[in-house]
Amino acid sequence: MSTVPGAGPLPDERPALRRCVAGDLDEFSNSYWGSRALLSHGPDLPAPYDDLFTLEAADELLSRRGLRTPFLRIAKNGAVVGDGQFTGSGGVGADIGDQIRDDKVAALFASGHTVVLQALHRTWPALVDFATQLSADAGHPVQINAYITPAESQGFSAHYDVHDVFVLQVAGEKHWTVHEPVHVDPLRNQPWTDHSKAVAAAARDEAPVIDEVLRPGDALYVPRGFLHSAKALGGVSAHLTVGMHTLTRYLLVQELAALAADDASLRTALPLGFDPGDPDQLSKVLPQVADLFVRQIQSATPDALAARLRRRTWSGNRPAPLPPLAHAASIASLAVGTTVRLRTGLRCRVIPGDPVVLQLPDRTITLPAVTAAAVMELTSGTDCKVGNLPGLDDPDQLVLVRRLLTEAVLVATSP
C-alpha cells in the first residue's frame, strides 16, 4: 500500500507556509503550532504580500465583481452591520437583491466601519492558488478573509477564534494585542461568546503575550483560543486573515462514535417511557451502553476510520481551479508527448493491487492491475509525459491518461 499526494509536501517544500512564518519551519511545527503566538517581521520573510492582495484588489471586488452576501461583512466596534445597509439589486439582467452596493460600502467605510471580504480563497485568483498550496503545506483546510479598516478604527473587540490564524499585513499599520486563552483549544461549537466575561476581563487585566504594530509584509500567528484585537493607526490598514481549520483529536473521537452505529446492539431502542433526563434511569442503562461503546472503539480499525475521515476532511479545500473549456480541449487533443500532472491540491491515495484502487475525496476509481506503476507515477505530483509511463504501451497510456483527465485527477501542462 502506498500513500501519494495528499499527505503534504516534504518539509523543504512548503512555499506558502514559508511566507507566513520566519525561521525554521520544523521549530514552528514543534514549538509554536497550536500553542504559542509568533510575530514574524517582513525582512525575515520571502516577500511582501502585494502579489496576493492590495487595496486596489479590494476596490475591484467591491465595485466590479458582482459580489453577493455572505462574501462581505461590515462591522464597527464589534457590532456587525445588517446586510440590507450595503446590498441592493444588481439592475437590468442581474436582478438579484443582495448584490454589494459600492456606494453604500463607501459611505460606511468613510464613517469608520471595517470592511471584511470573506472567502477570498474562492473569489480572488492569487488567494485561490495560495490557499490551495497552504492547505497542502499544512494538511489542514484553509479559508482567507481580508479586513480593511479606516484610520484609527477598530472593527472587532477582543475575542478568540475557533481556528488557528495567520495574519498577513498588506497595507498600513495595525496595532495587535494578543493574550493567553481563557478556554484552551476551543472546538467549532465553543465560540468566544460562551466566555465573553472572561475574555473581556483577561483582555483588560492580563499582560499580553504580543503587543506590537504590524507593518506591510509582517505576519502574525495566533493559535485558536488566543484572545486578540487590532486597531488601525494613522491610515487605512488592510490585512489578510488566513484561517486554518485545525483537525483535532476530537475529530477522531467523533468519527469513532459514528463507526459505533455499525453495531446493532448500540442501535437498540431505550425502554418504553424512558426519561433521558433522569439520572436514576440513566444509571440502569449507562454501564451496558458504555461497555458496548468501548468494545466498539477498541475493535475499530485504522482503515475503517481513515475511510470516514477521507470523506469528511479531504474536501475541506477544493483543488486548484479547473478551466472547463480548456480542460475539455486538452482531453480532445491528448496525444503521445503530452505532459500531464496531478491537479494541484487534490487529495488522493493509491492502493496497488488487482484492481488498482485510487481513492479520491468524493469517490473511488478502480483500474487494471497492470496500470499500477503508471498510476503511481502520474499521482506523484511531478510532470509526466505520455509515452514515457512505465508498464504500458503507448495506446494503453493514452487510455489511462484520458480516463484520469476525464475524472479531473490530472491536468495537461503542455499540448
pLDDT tens, the chain, 415 aa long:
233 333 344 445 799 999 999 999 999 999 999 999 999 999 999 999 999 999 999 999 999 999 999 999 999 887 899 999 999 998 888 888 899 999 999 999 999 999 999 999 999 999 999 999 999 999 999 999 999 999 887 767 899 999 999 999 999 999 999 999 999 999 999 999 999 999 999 999 999 999 999 999 999 999 999 999 998 888 899 999 999 999 999 999 999 999 988 889 999 999 999 999 999 999 999 999 999 999 989 999 999 999 889 988 998 888 999 999 999 999 999 999 999 999 999 999 999 999 999 999 999 999 999 999 999 999 999 999 999 999 999 999 999 999 999 999 999 998 7
pTM higher than 0.85? yes
User: Quick one: CATH architecture of 15-244?
Assistant: Sandwich (2.60)
Grid cell at residue 41: 517581521
Q: How many C-beta atoms surround the C-beta of residue 97 within 10 A? A: 12
Residue 228 exposed, middle or buried by CB count within 10 Å (0-12, 13-18, 19+) = buried
Cis amide leading into 70 (omega within 30): yes
Residue range 324-412 in CATH 3.90.930.40 = yes
- Going from N- to C-terminal start, the domains of the chain cover 15-244, 249-313, 324-412
Residue 121 to residues 117, 327, 343, 389: CA-CA distances in angstroms?
A: 10, 21, 17, 34
